[in-house]
Amino acid sequence: MTRKAVALISGGLDSLLATKVIQQQGIHVEGINFFTGFCVEGHTHAIRKQEKPKRNNALWVAEQLGIKLHIIDIVDEYKNIVINPKHGYGANLNPCLDCKIFMVHKAKQWIQDHGFDFIITGEVSGQRPMSQRKKNLPMVADESGAEDLLLRPLCAKSLAPTKPEREGWVDRAQLYDFSGRSRKPQIALANELGIEDFAQPAGGCCFLTDASYSIKLRDLWDNRGDRHYELDDIMLLKVGRHIRPDPSFKLIIAREEGETQFLSGYKNQFQSIKTISHGGPISLIDGPQLDPQQIELACAITARFSKGRDAEQVELRYCRPNGECQSLHVKALSADDIPKQWTLV
Amino acid sequence: MLHKVDARRLLCPLPVIRLQDKVNVIALGDQVEILCTDPGVKNDIPAWCKINGQRIDSMIEQANEIIITVSKLSDA
């Protein structure tokens, strides 16, 4: 009887290796990739104008392994992990331990629903400060409900045997005992398995680990007065310059053509400003209806990032989401007129 | 039977997820026509079809939109 495993595929080297090692033992493997909304790859690369669209590494890894990949949208369920992480945040707003527990829990549900036998991940003991700390690995297995159905082929030999090993579904002797932050054992194994092309680095795949992104997310929560968010909110935090001249509103100003095109798609949801007399970016205004003084300030800030920044006057068009527009003529603010604390980085 | 999915303004991998979710609930032999604006779908949808045993019937680019038609040949 062929046993079946599902692998958590991030698109990095570790999950690729873990899957390959198990495939070589005759196990049928399929992949799962979870879409949280905070993934670095995909969105960012799609927004910024590029000659060649970047590949999706999870799909690419599945293609190299010859396995099916199920991409699962967990955006809504994931909000509670981001907002209320039981085990707290890492250096930024990254709830890595809760995230890993949640994903393994979802994988456990998936294997039950689809008649699979166990779960594999590319985790390496001690590789990451939160989710892969050695003492936390058993906690992930326990709290996710996966328990001994969770096999980590790259560090299994340093952990208690799991059911797939005890039952002889996989040969423990052919698994590994990698540990620590060095990538050398993984690179050596990749060479041994003939894997030459893989995404680097493992792990840098979530915006919540990014300090600048976390500042913008915290600002969003602080100024809204609660930690609620929608997918559009977290998408927009990835795009443009964010300038908050007032607690009640902020500007999201495109930095290049791809971002201008992307932000233009939100004109029917946000107030917007576009320079008319000079080349320049589009700005979205995140906040309630601005008063005339605020509109003028928002226009002067937007003009600062246009080709009319040194002109006597810049003409801009301010539009409401309902399509009503008005033209304004302003002088661009100078760099010194924009206090540093307004800019969220 | 032809099923239509509007994935305009969605960025990858969301168009792939919308396609996958539709393919999962239609009959073998049915087609899905997905309308997208993210050029990343030109790589990602063929890759998803290849690994999941589905077939790309056509890919048409017009203005800033990409229309891809996929035939369901395999159950997930």
Question: How is chain A split into domains, by residue range?
Answer: 4-192, 239-344
Helices (H), A9-128: 13-23, 43-47, 57-65, 75-83, 96-114
CB contact under 8 Å between A69 and B48, yes or no, is: yes
Classify residue B29: in a domain, yes or no: yes
CA A259, A263, A267 angle in degrees (round to 5)? 160
Q: Of A242, A208, A190, give the one whose Cα is nearest residue A88.
A: A208
Classify residue B40: in a domain, yes or no: yes
Neighboring chain B residues of A67 at a CB cutoff of 8 Å? 51
The answer to whether residue A205 neighbours chain B at the CB level (below 8 Å) is no
Classify residue B76: in a domain, yes or no: no
Classify residue B9: in a domain, yes or no: yes
Residues A39-45: contacts with CB within 8 Å, 24+ apart? A39/A205, A39/A206, A39/A207, A39/B13, A40/A204, A40/A205, A40/A206, A40/A207, A40/A210, A41/A11, A41/A205, A42/B11, A42/B12, A42/B13, A42/B40, A43/A235, A43/A238, A43/B11, A43/B12, A44/A238, A45/B40
Interface contacts A/B by beta carbons within 8 Å: 68
Task: Tell me the nearest-neighbour CA distance from B2 into chain A, angstroms.
Answer: 23
Domain of B23, in residue numbers: 2-71
What's this model's pTM, rounded to 2 decimal places?
0.90
Token pair 């990014």 is found at A210
> What residue in B sits closest to A49 (Cα-Cα)?
B39
**Side chain identity, residue A64:** Q
Phi, psi of A22 (to 5 degrees): -75, -40
Neighboring chain B residues of A63 at a CB cutoff of 8 Å? 47, 50-51
- How many residues comprise chain A? 345
Q: What is the CATH number of the domain that holds B42?
A: 3.30.110.40
Domain count of chain B? 1
pLDDT tens sequence for chain A (345 residues): 899 999 999 888 999 999 999 999 999 999 999 999 998 765 555 566 655 556 788 999 999 999 999 999 999 999 999 999 999 999 999 999 999 999 999 999 999 999 999 999 999 988 776 666 777 889 999 999 999 999 999 999 999 999 999 999 999 999 999 988 888 999 999 999 988 877 764 445 789 999 999 999 999 999 988 998 999 999 999 899 999 999 999 999 999 888 898 899 899 999 999 999 999 999 999 999 999 999 999 999 999 999 999 999 999 999 999 999 999 999 999 999 999 999 998
Best mutation target, B5, B6, B9, B14, to test chain A (most A CBs within 10 A): B14
B49 is catalytic: no
Give the Cβ contact number of residue A52 at 10 Å: 8
Nearest to B11 among A42, A55, A60 (CB): A42
- What is the C-alpha to C-alpha distance for residues B5 and B2, in angstroms, rounded to an integer? 10
- What is the C-alpha to C-alpha distance for residues A73 and B14, in angstroms, rounded to an integer? 8
The answer to whether residue A47 neighbours chain B at the CB level (below 8 Å) is yes
Write down the catalytic residue from B3, B12, B18, B46: B12
Strands A282-286 and A314-319: unpaired
Is the separation of the CB atoms in A331 and A314 below 8 Å? yes
Best mutation target, B6, B8, B11, B42, to test chain A (most A CBs within 10 A): B11
Neighboring chain B residues of A55 at a CB cutoff of 8 Å? 43-44, 47
Q: ipTM of the predicted structure?
A: 0.91
Best mutation target, A48, A56, A207, A269, to test chain B (most B CBs within 10 A): A56
Domain covering A4-192 in this structure, CATH number: 3.40.50.620
Task: Tell me the nearest-neighbour CA distance from A326 into chain B, angstroms.
Answer: 26
Enumerate residues 246 to 285 of chain A having a beta carbon within 8 A of any beta carbon in chain B: 265
